[in-house]
Amino acid sequence: MEIKVKFDCLGVDWEIVSETLKRVGMAYYEPSLHRKAFKNSYVTVFVYRGNQMIGFGRAISDGAYQAAIYEVVVIPDFQRMEFGNIIMKSILDRLPPQCNIILYASPGKEEFYKKRDFKIMKTEFKARTVYLSRNDRIQVHFTTCFIALIIYKLLHKKLNNEFS
């Protein structure tokens, strides 16, 4: 069966995207919201076997030096058959080479990303596992998140908890 890789959103069945995310235990929303997210992404990848979508992924980026990879998904029947590698390689090949790339991995999928030279961001910050592609950016990413948290807490206090 022929494998096709597409990089645009034309003809995508967003219901299947939503159902696939639900099936693999990832966050899923109404199909129209996934359509909007993918259409606003810097890179989109859809893998088909014949007419069946078997996987997809996307990345957001400023197109210069920052990017984040989201929703790398392969339906369970086709996992461990190199389709995840095809999706990741397709995304990485389309991002600017100097980009600092982060991604948030689903629990249990850490080894998949470690094999692709992503490293775990080590902090005491309680969040989903964060992977960074460059060691020199780990502290910068954490510092940015920490500063954002401080600003949030200060605003929250300044506004007397009115909008929480």
CA distance 67 to 59: 7
**For 52-101, what is each residue's pLDDT tens digit?**
999 999 999 999 988 998 889 999 999 888 898 899 999 999 999 888 88
CA 111 to chain centre: 16
Grouping H, G, I as helix, E, B as strand and the rest as coil, residue 6 is strand
pLDDT score for 131: 63
pLDDT score for 75: 93
- pTM for the whole thing? 0.71
pLDDT at 25 > cutoff 60: yes
Please provide the DSSP assignment of 34-59 as one string: HHHHHHTSSEEEEEEETTEEEEEEEE
CA distances, 138 to each of 15, 101, 112 (Å): 36, 10, 19
Cβ atoms of 133 and 65 closer than 8 Å: no
Domains in the chain: ranges and CATH? 3-98 (3.40.630.30)
**For 95-146, what is each residue's pLDDT tens digit?**
998 888 888 777 776 666 667 667 666 554 455 566 666 666 777 777 787 7
